[in-house]
Amino acid sequence: MTAPSEDSGRLLEARIGLVRSMERGSAVLSARLAEVFLNVPRHPFVPVFYRRDGDRFTPWSSTAPDADAWLAQVYSDDSLITEVDGVHAEDAGPQGVSGVPTSSSTAPSLMADMLDALDVRPGHRVMEIGTGTGYNAALLCRLVGGGSVTTVDNSRRLTTTARTRLDALGPAPDVRCADGVEGVPGRAPFDRVIATCSVRRIPTAWFDQCAPGGLMVVPIKGALAGGMIARLQTLPDGTAAGRIMHTPAAFMPLLSGPEETAKIPERMDGAHRDSNLSGSVLDDWTFSFFAELHMSATTVRDYHRGPDGGHVTVLFDPQDGSYARVADRGPEPGAPTVLTRGPRDLWAPIEKAYEHWLSLHRPRREWFTIKATPHKQTVSYVMPDGQGVHWDL
């Protein structure tokens, strides 16, 4: 994994460029974090990743003719897609694949924000849920020491590859192929828990395995992009409390057990009504985290452009079969139309949530707090008059 000596200067310049790019952005980059990103290379962990080419993903490797462009992309402040529908970029043929991304290397500035929030110190015992490429685990090893880091992922392909690359870079973590929902009880307790995948609610095992006074940094997200990252401190009574971070995050969901993806039905018949709200509002990351607080955990979403070019959003809850289709009228004037079927109108809570969000003057993520136990997890917002509003996850 060591870079050829003739390329060492070029690789160092690439890492310096990455740190400068992060510092120009919104990342919280302390001197200690800057040192970590300068000294831990990214390229050994992503020798091949996907480029989006229309509706396909094409693998891009360090051996490609445009190697300089490849290196520049590796050390850009961007996320890199490494797996699509379970097919790793290193296993894909030159023609590429189509499907949905299932694993990626997170944008470095977002990694830095989360590591800063985790407040790790040398000697802290850290559990990472979601090994992925292994790059984040390598950064953690630099911060606390390899023997203090445990990283877990349910993909044997990912953990095997990450273990090899982490071992080559020097003090390596304990890499486990296991269900991240269960954590790693044999290595607990941990002073810090960080997830690099999203969950709808924080799993019970993570509470049990985080020591009192420890910190957890966990992305929370459901069907919509632009979810929340919660930073919580565990308390002596077994609860945890903290705040939502300012950074939106669309981490891929934690996979646990047999994968069951709810299939949204083809267009259905039902009751029609008008709405003042376009389904495209769910693409606004400043609102989508708030909208998700008003959606059931089992609701899934799809969206596309209709034949007339208008935005179409479909919501479906397989739990009770409720269905809603919200369609703009394309270039024609007029309110969006809503088709609903089933016991609940899934669009009505979003309409009410949007009006509520506006009445609260569009509150930002970082103004919300979170309190959680293994049995009840609540996000709260306190208004200027001292009154609070609460939502259960």
**Which active-site residues does the annotation give?**
104
Q: How far apart are CA 115 and CA 264, in angstroms?
A: 36
| Cβ–Cβ under 8 Å, residues 137 and 126 | no
The token pair at 108 is 């470095």
3-state secondary structure of 141: helix
Q: How far apart are CA 37 and CA 22, in angstroms?
A: 10
Instruction: Name 312's bridge partners.
Output: 304, 327
| Cβ–Cβ under 8 Å, residues 234 and 207 | yes
Residue 57: enclosing H or E segment and its boundaries?
A: strand 56-61
Cα 162 to chain centroid distance, Å, stands at 19
Q: How far apart are CA 222 and CA 99, in angstroms?
A: 20
Q: Which residue has the tokens 């459901």?
A: 222
| CA dist 38 → 4, 108, 255 (Å) | 17, 12, 32
Q: How far apart are CA 90 and CA 79, in angstroms?
A: 17
Nearest 5°: the CA angle 131, 135, 136 is 70
Peptide bond into 122 cis (omega under 30): no
Alpha helix stretches (DSSP H) within 145-266? 156-169, 204-209
3-state secondary structure of 50: strand
Q: Which residues contact 7 (CB under 8 A, 6 or more apart)?
A: none
Q: How far apart are CA 350 and CA 373, in angstroms?
A: 27
| CA dist 110 → 100, 101, 142, 366, 386 (Å) | 21, 18, 18, 15, 32
